[in-house]
Chains A and B, each alone.
Chain A
């Protein structure tokens, strides 16, 4: 079946630094990639939607200058958390779809900002 490989699975970074999270679709072309944030014991909160080759669409309240999303190819999308602060600590998950024929989630990235 479809697989999305997400890396890193865990990352600890110092406050003020930037962190890049990668999601690769291994056996399908992810025409659209969704990026979510999940707090403990809560549901997934959509941060942004990116279509290959175009700018991401951010949900209300999500700072686009802080959470940079790149979707330069049909198999790779990245989320960069810039100038990270402790309140950015969370579980980040990507989900790719090929024109809506199912959505495949990555395994998630646990970000801890110290």
Chain B
């Protein structure tokens, strides 16, 4: 089955700096790669996603890049703000099937 590894497990940045979280996956058939933000006591919220036919996608301060050959994808958050502090999960899936999640990254943005 699919295996997703996520790094780092914790990340602390100063407000205004950029944050990068990386994930690798094992199943070359995976074609959908979402990123979720989870705040304490809440369900994950989709913040950005990318499909395998695209290499990069951007939405304001958030961007995701995908390297299909290397089987890795990354989340980039620029101009970080304290409200970006949360746990971020990457995931991989294919053809509307079940998602495999990374172990999560706890991001702390210090004011």
Selecting from B11-19, B65-73, B93-101, the interface stretch reads: B93-101
In the complex, per-residue mask of B81-111: 1 if CB is within 8 Å of any chain A CB, else 0: 0000000010001011111011110000000
Is the beta-carbon distance between B36 and A108 smaller than 8 angstroms? no
Number of A residues near B (Cβ < 8 Å) is 24
Is the beta-carbon distance between B89 and A104 smaller than 8 angstroms? no
Chain B contacts of A44 at CB under 8 A?
44, 89, 101
Number of B residues near A (Cβ < 8 Å) is 21
Of the residues A42, A49, A101, A108, contact of B42 by C-beta under 8 Å: A108
In the complex, per-residue mask of A82-98: 1 if CB is within 8 Å of any chain B CB, else 0: 00000000010101010
**B56 at interface, CB cutoff 8 A:** no
Is the beta-carbon distance between A93 and B101 smaller than 8 angstroms? no
Known contacts being A42-B103, A43-B101, A97-B96, is A6 close to B43, with CB within 8 Å?
yes
Binding site for A on B (CB under 8 A): 32, 34, 36, 41-46, 49, 89, 93, 95-99, 101-104
- Which 6 A-B pairs rank lowest in CB-CB distance, beginning with the nearest? A100-B96, A105-B43, A108-B43, A107-B43, A43-B101, A43-B103
